[in-house]
Amino acid sequence: MNLTEEQKTIGRRNFLKAVAGVPALVVLGGAALTRGPIKGGPVKIALVGTGDMGKGLLNQYQREVCDLKALCDINPKRRAGMVEMMVKKGWPKPNEYDDWQEMIQKEDLEAVHIATPLWTHSTIAVGALNAGKHVLCEKMMAKSAQECQQMIDAAKTNNRVLEIGYQRYYNPIYQAAYTNIIKQGLLGDVYHARLAWHRNASWRRPAEDPPAPNFDASKYGYPDWEHLLNWRMYRKYSEGLLCELGSHQITAASWFFDSHPEAVYANGGTYKYKDGREVYDHIYATFNYPGGRTATFSSIQSNAFDENYEMYMGTKGTLIMTRELEAYLFNEGEGTATTRVDVSRQSSSPVADAAASQPANSAARTVSPAEGIVNKGISYLNEIAEFCSAIRTGGPVRCGGEKAMTSAVAILTGNLAAEKQARLEIPSPSST
Amino acid sequence: MTSDYQEKLSTAQRFALVALRTLIGWHFLYEAYYKLAAPAWSPAGGPLPAWTAANYLKGASGPLAGIFQRMINAGLTSWIDRTVKVALLLIGLSLLLGLFTRIGATAALIFLSLFYLLYVPTIGVPQPNAEGTYLIVNKTLIEAAAVLVLLLFDTGRIAGLDLLFKRRRVVSGNEMRAINETRNTEEPVPTMREAS
């Protein structure tokens, strides 16, 4: 999304005006009125998958909420790097494993955080849940509706927390936009959301030597090291752009629409990078929501001008969320003029006050309107903190199994539609 | 304090004294409970770190601040933390149950005096992140004064587990002689409400 500096300034100011004056504080606790501290210290956790995602997550682990006991990865080089990083950050040295099952058996764990390639999610999650561990699994939930259902069932049977990590749910900007703009009706009726994630790169990882000369990827289900390194390129392991990028935005759109899509048209192909990859490098999908609402998603690998954004076009206003970092609000009919919407309900700003008094290490549940910009890491930080909190307090999670499965089914149906170049009904949660 | 003196109090007065003791006992006990429970989680979902007196003492500005700050610098923080937790717990139990009430009340008075002398309110305007407006007198001082009242009225002998000890002492001390003397006069034995 390319706005001029002037547009950005105005849009950002409008956004901040709209979110100020309404407390964005969301309390997730239970229902009792008189409540003291809930026993239990940091949650004993282990991370499975120490790739790029795992690294980003580990950076947001806080010792107040979790006690990192172990790291598991089939790549010893990556794993060692992460252990070193954590020790540098002052953590006690976590134990290392290449087998998640062995880790679950040997370690005294309460929870497992999964950040592995998509195709392994359900096996690890179900195994961990059946071993009595709570599970935080990074998106997308799993590679089929059946696998998603198995995860939900395992969580229910074992009475454990299952949360799927869609970080937008934990992003203070998204929370403020939902609570103070969408729910307040400041956009009027929204019939269209445009979701875009455009890049001009191959999506392949730079060439890298195997972690050891004798490293045998076939032990882990990959024919060779290259397939492991670039697992996102192959259909056995990955659901491609619509899943890896699109599922974030589709899930956010479903959240903002308070609904889920009923049908999807899609098409795409491998047009630019004919390098042996099995997933598309261009995909275009149109998701139909109830009430005549439509979200279009495009992800291309041949032009990065648009970067990534979500744009909600309402009868009264337009909301643009860019790169998970910034938000802009424009009043319909005024172009980029300052909004006339009166949102100054209080003279002081409880949002700002709450943010200012928030201890740095606690789960920040408020938006800081200082610049309208957040550090992207705070979403992961909140995600992990709220998962640990749900374990201890029994509070709800923002994206549990059912919600995540609904979203995953929409994405998987989208990929099928793209393959068939057709319109497909998305099975509703009750019929899957 | 003797039981004679306490029997002159009306039921309402005795009830009020015991209620005061119970409330202060609860306050101490809950402060202890919280400190012992941490690290824990707030019901709203945030982590509550392990409790330590260090920050409280570092921020102190009263007459005793220097002494405690030197103790912290000497590495006595964990000793202070343990002492405070255990003391608050024992004081709370003592006042709530009316057991060794005078010892409990004395200890409560000492601790409240310490808390007061660590933070004497000398600025009589509202302070950020604190309720109320105080000059010289704050709620800690008032609680200390209330504990002094409890100490002087020995409320464990109105209601509480201290009554168990009282019974034994009544028949073994001067009271026994008084009973005997009363009997010698061949007057009807007076009702000794709490003598067995």
Share of chain B above pLDDT 70, in %: 82
User: What are the φ and ψ backbone dihedral angles of B111, each rounded to 5 degrees?
Assistant: -65, -45
Answer whether residue A346 is part of any domain. yes
- Helix, strand, coil content of chain B in percent (nearest 5): 65, 5, 35
Confidence check: pLDDT of A97 > 60:
yes
Q: Which of A30, A46, A164, A156 is nearest to A98 (CA)?
A: A46
Least confident stretch, A142-156, A342-356, B134-148: A342-356
Percentage with pLDDT > 70 across chain A: 86
Distance CA A145, CA A141 (A): 9
Neighbours of A208 (CB within 10 A): 13
Which range (A108-112, A255-259, A311-315, A325-329) has the least confidence?
A325-329
pLDDT band, very low/low/confident/very high, at A2 (cuts 50, 70, 90): confident
pLDDT at A359 over 50: no
More confident residue, B133 or B195: B133
Paired residues of A326 in beta bridges = A322
- The nearest alpha carbon in chain B to A395 belongs to B45
pLDDT of residue B167: 64
Take residue A209 and report the two structure tokens written for it.
């030597």
Asked if residue A113 belongs to a domain, the reply is yes
* Residues A93 and A184 reside in one and the same domain: no
B43 and B71: one domain?
yes
- Give the pLDDT score at A395: 86
CA distances from B131 to A104, A265, A347, B134 (A): 49, 59, 21, 9
Note the pLDDT tens digit of each residue in B130-155.
Answer: 889 999 999 999 999 999 999 999 89
A55 touches chain B (CB under 8 A): no
What gap in Å lies between CA A362 and CA B12, rounded to an integer? Answer: 47
One domain, residues B36 and B69 = yes
CA distances from B10 to A189, B6, B13, B166 (A): 71, 9, 5, 20
Q: What is the pLDDT of residues A376-390, one digit of tens each?
A: 788 999 999 999 999
For the stretch B154-191, pLDDT in tens is: 898 889 999 888 766 555 566 666 666 665 655 555 55
State yes or no: pLDDT of A57 exceeds 50.
Answer: yes
> Are A145 and A238 contained in the same domain?
no
Do A147 and A244 lie in a common domain?
no
Interface list for A 92-131 with B (CB within 8 A)? none
Q: Is B128 near chain A, with CB under 8 Å?
A: no
Nearest-Cα residue of chain B relative to residue A35: B43
d(CA A138, CA A113): 8
Rounded CA gap, A320 and A332, in Å?
Answer: 13
Averaged pLDDT for residues B115-127: 93
The structural domain count of chain B equals 2
Q: Tell me the torsion sign for CA atoms A50, A54, A55, A58.
A: negative
Judge if B192 and B125 occupy the same domain: no
Question: A-B interface: how many C-beta pairs under 8 angstroms?
Answer: 65
**Omega before residue B71 within 30° of 0, cis:** no
DSSP A233: G
Q: Tens digit of pLDDT for each residue in B36-47? A: 998 999 888 888
Indicate if B19 and B53 belong to the same structural domain.
Answer: yes
Mean pLDDT, rounded, for A357-367 = 34
Q: Do B43 and A393 touch (CB under 8 A)?
A: yes
Among A35, A362, A388, pick the best mutation site for testing chain B contact (most B Cβ within 10 A): A362
Residue that is written with structure tokens 């209080």 in the block = A346
Whether A367 shows a pLDDT value over 90: the answer reads no
Domain extent for B125: 3-160
Query: What integer is the mean pLDDT of A187-196?
Result: 97
Beta strands in A315-377 (DSSP E): 317-322, 326-331
Domain shared by B173 and B146, yes or no? no
- The pLDDT value recorded for residue A1 is 74
Q: State the nearest Cα–Cα gap between B45 and chain A, in angstroms.
A: 5
| Average pLDDT, integer, range A333-340 | 58
Write the DSSP string, A263-286.
Answer: EEEEEEE--S--SS--S-SEEEEE
The sign of the torsion formed by the CA atoms of B76, B81, B87, B88 equals: positive
Statement to judge: residues A53 and A132 lie in one domain = yes
Q: Is residue A54 domain-shared with residue A189, that is, in the same domain?
A: no
* Closest residue to A28, CB basis, from B45, B50, B129: B45
User: Do B74 and B105 lie in a common domain?
Assistant: yes
Do A280 and A197 share a structural domain?
yes
Reported pTM: 0.81
* Calculated CA dihedral for residues A298, A299, A301, A305, nearest 10 degrees: 70
Do B118 and B45 belong together in one domain?
A: yes
The reported pLDDT for the residue numbered B127 is 85
Are B41 and B133 within one domain?
A: yes
Cβ A88 vs Cβ A208: under 8 Å: no
Q: Which position has the higher pLDDT, A42 or A353?
A: A42
Q: Residue A410 CB: number of other CB atoms within 10 A?
A: 26
Domain of A113: which CATH number? 3.40.50.720
ipTM above 0.85, yes or no: no
Check residues A14 and B89 and name the one with the higher pLDDT: B89
Quote the domain boundaries for residue A106. Answer: 43-168
pLDDT at B128: 85
B47 touches chain A (CB under 8 A): yes
Nearest residue on chain B to A386, judged by CA atoms? B45
Cβ contact A388–B47 (<8 Å): yes
- The 3-state DSSP composition of chain A as helix, strand, coil percent (nearest 5) reads 35, 20, 45
Q: Do A224 and A366 sit in the same domain of this protein?
A: yes
Q: How far apart are the first and last CA of chain A?
A: 36
The answer to whether residues B61 and B153 belong to one domain is yes
Q: Where are the beta strands (DSSP E) in A173-236?
A: 190-197
Same domain? For A263 and A342 the reply is: yes
Domain count, chain A: 2
Mean pLDDT computed over A313-339: 85
b/e sequence B88-125, b meaning 16+ C-beta within 10 Å: bbbbbbbbbbbbbbbebbbbbbebbbbbbbbbbbeeee
Rounded Cα–Cα distance for residues A383 and A165 (Å):
7
Flag whether residue A360 sits within 8 Å of chain B, measured between CB atoms. Answer: no
Residue from A412, A404, A405, A425 nearest A235 by CA:
A412
Once rounded to an integer, what is the mean pLDDT over residues A321-338? 82
Residues B79 and B176 in one domain: no
Out of B30, B45, B49, name the one closest to residue A393 (CB). B45
Backbone angles phi, psi at A136, to 5 degrees: -110, 115
Whether residues B140 and B54 share a domain: the answer is yes
Give the strands of the sheet with A111-114, arranged side by side: A95-97, A66-72, A43-48, A111-114, A134-138, A162-165
Edge to edge, the sheet with strand A38-39 lists A38-39, B40-41, B47-48
The pLDDT of residue A423 = 95
Q: Is residue A388 part of a domain?
A: no
Q: Does A357 touch chain B (CB under 8 A)?
A: yes
* A52 and A12 in a common domain: no
| Same domain membership, residue A272 and residue A410 | yes
In a domain, A381, yes or no: no
Residues A147 and A183 occupy one common structural domain:
no
B4 versus A269: which is more confidently predicted? Answer: A269
Q: Tokens for B40?
A: 């824990």
Provide the pLDDT for residue A366: 40
Note whether A353 contacts B: Cβ–Cβ < 8 A: no
**A38 lies in a domain?**
no
Q: Which residues contact B52 (CB under 8 A, 6 or more apart)?
A: B77, B81
Most B CBs within 10 A among A25, A33, A38, A161, hence the mutation to make, goes to A38
Residue A152 shares a structural domain with residue A112: yes
Residue A309 structure tokens: 């954004």
Residue B135 φ then ψ, to 5°: -135, 120
* pLDDT for the residue numbered A369: 40
What's the pLDDT score for residue A352?
Answer: 30
Same domain, B156 and B192: no
CA pair distance A359, A379, nearest whole angstrom: 16
Q: Does B34 touch chain A (CB under 8 A)?
A: yes
pLDDT tens-place string over residues A404-429:
999 999 999 999 999 999 999 999 87
CATH code of A312's domain: 3.30.360.10
Query: Which residue of A357, A392, A397, A398 to mutate against B (max B Cβ within 10 Å)?
Result: A392
